[in-house]
Structure 1
Amino acid sequence: MAELFLEIVELESGEVVLREMESDDVPVMRVSFSDDMKKRLQDQHLDVAKVMLSAGIHMAAEIQNKAAEAQELKSAEDEKPPVLH
């Protein structure tokens, strides 16, 4: 499986996105804050966005790992010879 390198970027629109490194393709995830929220966060919105995107990455990886484990268990059960007695 090819490695996927991701970057967190703030777009001109103010939206913070997670995308493939040095790519203009559609972002994997997006986070946006209203101007009021940016003020409330005292211009720390990028740090908050990084935490939110990181949590999303970890959750997605966990879901994929659980699906892969379930598939492995199913494959192992399918390979067992049937009991005839």
Structure 2
Amino acid sequence: MSASLLEIVDLGDGEIVLQPADEGSEPLLTIRFSEASQRHMMDNCLEVAKVMIQAGIEAVALLADDEEQGFETGSYTEASRTLH
């Protein structure tokens, strides 16, 4: 994927998208909050979405770093898995 400017857009209906800043581009990621979760977060959905996106980017960077160092992502044993 080529480097481009990305923007986070709150569509106002509980849906937040990450998309290229280029007009007409399709969203890369969509986060949809239910009405109940919107009420619970008290209008902080955009901030929560930003943290979720940042966590995803960091996770991908860590996985890419592991792969560069020769770790095989499929080589973990059952005992090393953590269920969340």
- Per-residue deviation, 1:55: 0.5
- Alignment of 1:9 with 2:9, yes or no, is yes
Equivalent residue number for residue 60 of structure 1: 60
Per the alignment, residue 24 of structure 1 pairs with: 24
Q: Per-residue deviation at 1:12?
A: 5.2
The alignment yields a C-alpha RMSD, in angstroms, of 2.4
Aligned partner of residue 65 in structure 2, secondary structure: helix
**d(CA) in 2 for partners of 1:13, 1:3:** 29
What is the CA-CA distance between 1:69 and the residue it aligns to?
2.8
Which stretches in structure 2 are left out of the alignment for 5+ residues?
72-84
Runs (5+) with no aligned partner, structure 1? 72-85
The structure whose Rg is larger is 1
Cα gap change, 1:9 to 1:58, in 2 (>3 Å): same
Aligned residues: 71
The share of aligned pairs that are identical, in percent, is 34
Amino acid at match of 1:6: L
- Relative to its length, the structure with more helix (as a share) is 1
TM-score, normalization: structure 1? Answer: 0.65
Which residue of structure 1 aligns with residue 81 of structure 2?
none
Which letter maps to 2:10?
A: E
Distance 2:19 2:62 in 1: 19
Distance 2:49 2:13 in 1: 15
The answer for the alignment partner of 1:48 in structure 2 is 48
Task: Specify the SS of the correspondent of 2:54.
Answer: helix
